[in-house]
Amino acid sequence: MSNPILSISGLTTSFRTGGQWRDVIRDISFDIGPQETVAVVGESGSGKSVTAMSVMRLLGGNARSSGRIGFDGRDLLSLPLEEMQKIRGNRIGMIFQEPMTSLNPVLKIGDQITEVLMQHRGLDHATATTEAVRLLDKVRIPSAKARLGEYPMNFSGGMRQRVVIAIALACEPKLLIADEPTTALDVTIQAQILELIKTLQQEEGMSVLFITHDMGVVAEISDRTVVMYRGDIVETDTTRQIFRKASHPYTRALLSAVPQLGSMAGQPRPLRFPVVDMKTGEIAPVPPTADTVRHDIAPVLKVEHLITRFPVRKGILRRIAGRVHAVEDISFDLHAGETLSLVGESGCGKSTTGRSLIRLEKMTSGRVQIDGKEVTKANQGSLAEIRREAQMIFQDPFESLNPRMRVGRAIAEPMIAHGLASSSEAIRRAGTLLEQVGLSAAMADRFPHEFSGGQRQRVCIARALALDPKLIVADESVSALDVSIKAQVINLMLDLQEKLGLGYLFISHDMAVVERISHRVAVMYLGEIVEIGPRQSVFENPQHDYTRKLMAAVPIADPTRRQTRRIADSEIRSPYRAADYEPAKRQYREISPGHFVQLTVEK
Amino acid sequence: MTRSSQPEISVHEAVGTTALPAISPFRRTVGAMLHNPLAMAGLIIVGLLVLIALIAPLVAPQNPYDLGQLDIMDGRLAPGSESMTGMIYLLGTDDQGRDLFSAILYGLRTSILVGVVSAAIALMIGAGIGLISAYAGGRTDAVLMRIVDIQLSFPAILIALILLAVLGQGVDKIIIALVVTQWAYYARTVRGSALVESKRAYIDAARSMALPDRRVIFRHILPNCLPPLIVVATMRVAYAIMLEATLSFLGIGLPVTEPSLGLLISNGFDYMMSGDYWISVFPGLTLLLLIVGINLIGDALRDILNPRREG
């Protein structure tokens, strides 16, 4: 490679914790050539973000770096701070993960961009404004000139990330560092932003250092890939080579755990993830999944015309000004031993559906039966009985356990409260449940903060199993987990389904995971189910426009299938409606057995 | 969706130290206190003052309540003077010949008793109302919080003055007055943190398991509201002691026969100008030491119990 733009050699960064220096990244070296995109990929704690922060020298006083970071013939680590200040934002631009917080909420968008231009490029106000409009045009923000005077709150997440990119580009940097820039975004928006970064890189002739945990994104965007594991680089190669024939066992383990859209073609049932031996890199054969669906007995969950709307009140008299139509006329069945996935993007009402079913949210109308019992009309007593049959696993394992309760007690508590077991009996059963989810009974004495994220999610599953439920509503239960942990938890869920005949309502935005785990899939958009059917049928033969768009947006973890796609730069619409709005009655068409598609209504 | 797909970052996972022994939040807090020099200073000051207040009858040279032990001839003696009977007055005497050192020890007893008891009662009432307010929400919440607002809009001293004027003097009366002026602070604090906690997923989890309301409130919400409550309670004990001292200084708190620190300061005030500084200054210094000590502990607790520091 001729004259790399950025050349990192022997970089070690340590943090001081409790008076001791601990290496977070150790002796890492890699180069980024001109107009090249290098992805640094790894799971949490791998040190990938610390690498980016070390390059920018943005780490605080309790961190130190040694080695060499060559940029433009100079060593960034030995530069005086004011010299570094000139490079930051000027020669190296940076975009962060969270578009909601990386813009100042009380300053107009235009001012935030012109500020950078006047500061770094010494432009006067008029030229800076013209330049700001040009930049916003460049990141494809429609009617840029009109939007200069708006505040960040008027922009959606994707649009904010575009503004952040515009600011990063303001000084025509030679290198753009992108730290998980699409992680907080919806999948269709993510596709737009990735497309944008690719285009801009060509237009501007920049190099890009792309930090991510998502192998799919890596395959989409990078020329070369650096794989990090616990602070070390385990493998550096061209992206194609890494996906074709990874040499390090960790890389192989990581890749085998990545859910790949389309990898389930021809498979009627869910499939476990292959388990890779971390030492040898051998892939153990995947045990076939048994047929668990019990069509012979009545469905465990029956939902008919479920509607949940939230009134939005305004004014002193608290008049209803409008309603958020979170869930709009949804009907489906779920059998024992079956997994039905609700997929869709943020705000589509998938979580509200799950919460309405067990009455964590008040439904507006409709009928829900769990195991033949009416949820809708249940009073306090019978509701307790119904909730015993249907348990919920939440998204964030850090939030869903009481931080001040030992996990053994947390698992035993529902059994005691429902009078199913005496206190000592419940504690003993909690130990058994912990073993059932792959932890040890001795861990019952620990507090939640002593567990890792994946372990906590196992604890949550054990707690959900405590009441011997027939149905589990899993609300984005694996979304916050690292790829390899995610694969393990999904395998566990499939094991438990086989053993206990559980019905899962699996709520997720992640199409690739959904493809792996479900028997049937329902695609939601603006509170409605637009398409529902057997997983194989929906994924191999999607009918509704939105389903197709959603599938096209999922990054494919295979660089040879990289596609230049045209994603319409559209936004996700809002389900907020005026108070007197009456939704149209929807019609569905059955295109193959059990596969229904909503008919598009002409507006 | 802002948090959904964010990869988790866990220190334990990163360094692979998941095999930590189980440490309860309580023991972590105590451990952190012992490593904080200012907190240690506060703990030692308050610990010593409470200890000598408790054992006052054993260590005090004289019982300041027993008029038989007092000799009016010993009135207003300077610190270090010798009495008619040969006893040394370490910190001097007041106008009635009362040994100030003994009076301060007994005064500490009264001050701490009034402060702690009133704070404890106010805490229970306030926390209860705060929890009800947060959990019930809607109209109940609105009514209770407006009462709190009204209560807080009057200066505490004014309410206490009016109450004592009606109730009269006495330790029980002043405790009632202090409880009435203090409970609203606890209610406000607990409601705030209970609202935050009840929005969190583990409360949803508890509700989805159909746990009874009582259990959700006391086993799940309350323990997680304790950190801010403990901090407020510590500060409020100090405030209650000061308020009691103020009221006694104004002569409407405790009877002259049961001297608290405030009353002692008040007794000596008349003689400040004639050079008999000790009658006011020594009780005042003791009060200052006690308040500073409690506040040091409170500050340290606030830092330690800050949720951002919890792992």
d(CA A557, CA A219): 5
Contact across the interface for A360 and B207, Cβ inside 8 Å: yes
Nearest-by-Cβ selection for B208 from A45, A183, A358:
A358
Tell me the percentage of chain A whose pLDDT exceeds 70: 97
From the list B7, B22, B209, the residue facing A482 with the nearest CB is B7
Mean pLDDT to the nearest integer, B39-64? 86
Backbone angles phi, psi at A567, to 5 degrees: -95, 125
**Most confident by average pLDDT, A388-397, B140-149, B276-285:** B140-149
User: Which amino acid belongs to residue B289?
Assistant: L
pLDDT surpasses 70 at B298: yes
Residues B258/B248, Cβ–Cβ less than 8 Å: no
Is the Cβ pair A447, B23 closer than 8 Å? yes
Average pLDDT over residues A339-366: 89
- Residue A372 zone, left/alpha/beta (φ > 0; ψ -120 to 50; rest): left
Mean pLDDT in chain A?
A: 87
- The least confident of A138-142, A178-182, B7-11, B38-42 is B7-11
Calculate ∠ Cα B296-B302-B305, nearest 5°.
135
Quote the pLDDT of residue B307.
52
Q: Is the pLDDT of residue A54 over 70?
A: yes
Mean pLDDT of B19-32: 66
Residue from the list B9, B20, B204 with its beta carbon closest to the beta carbon of A450: B20
Closest chain B residue to A400, measured at CA? B202
pLDDT 10s digits, B209-253: 888 888 888 889 998 888 889 888 988 999 998 898 888 888 887
Chain A contact for B212, CB < 8 A? yes
Q: Is B207 on the interface with A (CB under 8 A)?
A: yes
Confidence of residue B306 (pLDDT cuts 50, 70, 90): low
What is the C-alpha to C-alpha distance for residues B288 and B306, in angstroms, rounded to an integer? Answer: 27
For chain B, the average pLDDT equals 81
pLDDT of residue A87 exceeding 80, the answer is yes
Residue B2 has pLDDT above 50, yes or no: no
Q: What pLDDT is attached to residue B18?
A: 38
pLDDT at res. A520: 94
- Residue B22: its pLDDT value, please? 53
Give the pLDDT of residue A2: 63
Cα-to-chain-centroid distance, residue B232:
9
pLDDT value of residue A563: 65
- Name which residue leads in pLDDT, A171 or A342: A342
Q: Judge whether residue A418 has pLDDT over 80.
A: yes
Q: Do B6 and A358 touch (CB under 8 A)?
A: no
Element (H, E) at A530: strand A528-534
| Residue numbers in B near A447 (CB within 8 A) | 22-25
Q: Are B7 and A44 in contact (CB under 8 A)?
A: yes
Burial A525-545 (b: 16+ CB within 10 A, else e): bbbbbbbbbbbbbbbeebbbe
Cα separation, A444 vs A439, in Å, equals 9
What are the start-end ranges of the E strands in A162-259? 175-179, 207-212, 224-229, 232-238
Q: Is B199 on the interface with A (CB under 8 A)?
A: no
Beta strands in A33-89, from DSSP E residues, in sequence order: 37-41, 63-71, 74-75
With a cut of 90, say whether residue A84 has pLDDT above it: no
* Contact residues, chain B, for A455 at CB < 8 Å: 18
Comparing A10-14, A454-458, B16-20, B108-112, the range with the smallest average pLDDT is B16-20
Nearest to B22 among A45, A358, A446 (CB): A446
pLDDT tens string B59-83 = 777 777 777 777 666 667 777 777 6
| pLDDT score for B305 | 76
Q: How far is Cα A16 from Cα A98, in angstroms, rounded to an integer?
A: 26
Looking at residue A159, what is its pLDDT?
A: 85
Q: Are A346 and B207 within 8 A, CB to CB?
A: no
SS (H, E, C) A241-302: HHHHCCCCHHHHHHHHHCCCCCCCCCCCCCCCCCCECCCCCCECCCCCCCCCCCCCCCCCEE
Closest listed residue to residue A51, CA positions, set A204, A210, A185? A210
Is A44 within 8 Å of B13 when comparing Cβ atoms? yes
pLDDT band of residue A69 (cuts 50, 70, 90) is very high
- pLDDT of res. B17: 36
Q: With contacts defined as CB-CB under 8 Å, which chain B residues touch A398?
A: 8
Residue A537 has pLDDT above 80, yes or no: yes
Q: Kindly report the nearest CA distance between residue A131 and chain B, in angstroms.
A: 31
Cβ–Cβ gap A396/B220 under 8 Å: no
- What residues of chain B lie within 8 A of the CB of A405, using their CB? 219-220, 223
Give the whole-angstrom CA distance, residue B267 versus residue B71: 17
Residue B26 reports pLDDT greater than 90: no
B205 vs A463: CB contact, 8 Å cut-off? yes
Rounded Cα distance between B291 and B295, Å, is 6
Relative to beta strand A175-179, strand A595-598 is unpaired
Would the pLDDT of A301 be above 90? yes
Q: Retrieve residue A457's tokens.
A: 């999610």
For residue A6, the one-letter residue type is L
Number of residue pairs across A and B with CB atoms under 8 Å? 148
Higher pLDDT, B10 or A238: A238
Three-state SS letters, A492-554: HHHHHHHHHCCEEEEEECCHHHHHHHCCEEEEEECCEEEEEEEHHHHHHCCCCHHHHHHHHHC
Q: Does residue B17 sit at the A interface (CB-CB below 8 Å)?
A: no
Supply the pLDDT for residue A89.
79
Q: Which residues of B touch A98 (CB under 8 A)?
A: 2
Q: What is the pLDDT of residue A343?
A: 93
Which structure tokens are listed for B38? 């200012």
Res A26 pLDDT > 60: yes
Whether residue B257 is predicted with pLDDT greater than 80 in this model: the reply is: no
Mean of the pLDDT values across residues B194-214? 86
B154 has a pLDDT exceeding 50: yes
Q: Give the type of residue at A337.
A: G
pLDDT band at B191 (very low <50, low <70, confident <90, very high): very high
Q: What 3-state DSSP class applies to A509?
A: coil
Smallest CA-to-CA distance from A333 within A589, A170, A141, A534 is with A534
pLDDT bucket at A303, cuts 50 / 70 / 90: very high
Please, where are the H alpha helices in A67-186? 81-87, 109-121, 125-138, 144-147, 157-169
- Yes or no, beta carbons of B224 and A383 under 8 Å apart: no
